Chain A
């Protein structure tokens, strides 16, 4: 659906030039929710703006469907942009227009007949659950409601792609969750491809299928969220994940607490249905070792349940070795922790 090739964006020229994006390659599939996570200044904002040419790339290409966005003339670009919805951190609604008129805005840009505008706006109001607020002005709405208007406005032209620029960063946690649910819902109902940028791992974990970690203008790693989340390769990625669990120090302490010489500490990862099965307890009964859980998470990444436990096994070296083997045989991922 979206193919980004060797995308470079440099601000300024000559000695003062700074590179915001240093050769980005990404592939977003149709119907996917693709998350790009990075710290502020990592280039994620520039990257998402290059997709609809709000920022003109210095070199490289951005292809949506069959269209190379970097080669379009002004009026062609305007036409293409109507098929790409975008929502923003600060909503960017017209303060002088009602909710209704804000949603009608993109339709009226192309002189849509009045009746068609009315039909579409009402449909969108229904979709985002703001029907009774149609006549209000943005200043009279809460942040979450404003973002709902933003979403309705972005979807009014039936786009094939929705770009979300830190769409939940200005919202409180509950509102964030309700907006994320709405986005997921729309993605399913309409089969809409969504590209979002964020600095919160929580957002990625809740709704994204794939994630790319951007740092210093390059993509450090990317892949299905479950893989990147459970087996991060890069320090930056681990940092984002740790911030979410926020307990690295606690773990450190637990690992170094006094324990028998022969004990071994491992990270056990369950993915999918395995998460809810009693594999661990069955195995230790069989191999006759004891265990202590030092830290653990049982959660979900989008729809997939997962568990990740830091476990210390105590017993004879042979028994522990057999335990680890048995766990691996049952498709759990076992990784030794020092």
Chain B
């Protein structure tokens, strides 16, 4: 392997394109994961402690669905979701074709992290807001989401980083991006240099996102 390490064969233009693809996948999937995962997390949180039997049953069902989606290995999820993906974005390959499975794989994960963060919010503060006449929506919006902001951001950072590794996996099934380069050149064509460069770019990306996440968490932490 090592004697194949020849950086002269690396096509930098191709790397630029692949990086952009990875970033596109990441941006869209992160956005939709947030849009889907946050409300699901809030619903999980609210229904889990509801006094109504019906809502607690709803929680159990939603909880099982979330668990199922989280327990399927991502590579299998991509393949299993191909019909669904075609329905949504009319293709199952390329950047577009990858976004539905990425979101469906990551949103339940983020929803669980949201639920856990919301549970951390001091019961007393919620009670105080209720005592002041806040509605359920006001309690969620003005108290719970506000108080759990550091936890929500930390959870989102973890989710985005998980999405990076998911996007890399998508290379196996024609998803494009850095993972695609690493698998097709680095693995199938023994161009180790390509693989190494892919790995380095992915590591840098992970570091960057973790750093931004940490900064934001510190910015919003008041304790």
Chain A 61-92 interface 0/1 with B at a Cβ cutoff of 8 Å (1 = within): 00000000000001101111110101010101
Cα distance, A75 to B133, chains bound together (Å): 9
Counting CB contacts under 8 A, is A139 at the interface?
A: yes
User: Are B128 and A86 in contact, CB atoms less than 8 angstroms apart?
Assistant: yes
User: Are A92 and B125 in contact, CB atoms less than 8 angstroms apart?
Assistant: yes
Binds A, one of B34-42, B58-66, B134-142, B209-217: B134-142
User: Are B131 and A96 in contact, CB atoms less than 8 angstroms apart?
Assistant: no
Chain B 110-151 interface 0/1 with A at a Cβ cutoff of 8 Å (1 = within): 000000000000101101111111110010001100110100
User: Are B222 and A95 in contact, CB atoms less than 8 angstroms apart?
Assistant: yes
- Select B127's contact among A54, A77, A96, A157, beta carbons within 8 Å: A54
Chain A 194-206 interface 0/1 with B at a Cβ cutoff of 8 Å (1 = within): 0000000000000
Among B128, B135, B143: residue with most chain A CB under 10 A? B128
Contacts of A82 in B (CB 8 A): 132-133
User: Are B122 and A105 in contact, CB atoms less than 8 angstroms apart?
Assistant: no
- Do A81 and B222 contact each other (CB < 8 Å), given the known contacts A94-B125, A94-B143? no
User: Are A96 and B147 in contact, CB atoms less than 8 angstroms apart?
Assistant: yes
Residue on A nearest B135 in the bound complex, by CB? A78
Contacts of B133 in A (CB 8 A): 77-82, 106, 109-110
Cα distance, A79 to B220, chains bound together (Å): 32
Contacts of A80 in B (CB 8 A): 133
- Select A96's contact among B129, B138, B220, beta carbons within 8 Å: B220
User: Are B124 and A94 in contact, CB atoms less than 8 angstroms apart?
Assistant: no
- Do A96 and B149 contact each other (CB < 8 Å), given the known contacts A78-B135, A81-B133, A86-B131? yes
Contacts of B124 in A (CB 8 A): 88, 90, 92
Among A82, A93, A95, A153: residue with most chain B CB under 10 A? A95
Give chain A's interface secondary structure class: mixed
Cα distance, A77 to B131, chains bound together (Å): 10
Counting CB contacts under 8 A, is A168 at the interface?
A: no
Cα distance, A105 to B131, chains bound together (Å): 12
Cα distance, A235 to B91, chains bound together (Å): 80
Cα distance, A288 to B18, chains bound together (Å): 111
Contacts of B189 in A (CB 8 A): none
**Size of the chain A interface, CB-CB below 8 angstroms:** 31
Counting CB contacts under 8 A, is A229 at the interface?
A: no
Nearest CB on B from A38, distance (A): 20
Kindly identify, within residues 26 to 77 of chain B, every residue whose CB is under 8 Å from any CB belonging to chain A: none
Contacts of B127 in A (CB 8 A): 54, 88, 92
Nearest CB on B from A136, distance (A): 10
User: Are B131 and A109 in contact, CB atoms less than 8 angstroms apart?
Assistant: no
Nearest CB on A from B111, distance (A): 22
- Select A139's contact among B130, B134, B142, B223, beta carbons within 8 Å: B223
Contacts of A94 in B (CB 8 A): 125, 143, 146-147
User: Are B222 and A109 in contact, CB atoms less than 8 angstroms apart?
Assistant: no
Contacts of A84 in B (CB 8 A): 131
- Do A109 and B132 contact each other (CB < 8 Å), given the known contacts A96-B147, A96-B220, A139-B222? yes
Residue on B nearest A79 in the bound complex, by CB? B133
Counting CB contacts under 8 A, is A97 at the interface?
A: yes
- Select A81's contact among B130, B220, B223, beta carbons within 8 Å: B130
- Select B142's contact among A54, A74, A86, A109, beta carbons within 8 Å: A109
Cα distance, A159 to B14, chains bound together (Å): 68
User: Are B132 and A106 in contact, CB atoms less than 8 angstroms apart?
Assistant: yes
- Select B122's contact among A75, A92, A157, beta carbons within 8 Å: A92
Contacts of A77 in B (CB 8 A): 133
A interface residues with partner B (beta carbon < 8 Å)? 52, 54, 74-75, 77-82, 84, 86, 88, 90, 92-97, 105-106, 108-110, 137-139, 153, 157, 163
Q: 10 pairs across A/B with beta carbons < 8 Å?
A: A54-B127, A54-B131, A79-B133, A92-B125, A93-B128, A94-B146, A108-B142, A109-B133, A109-B134, A163-B131
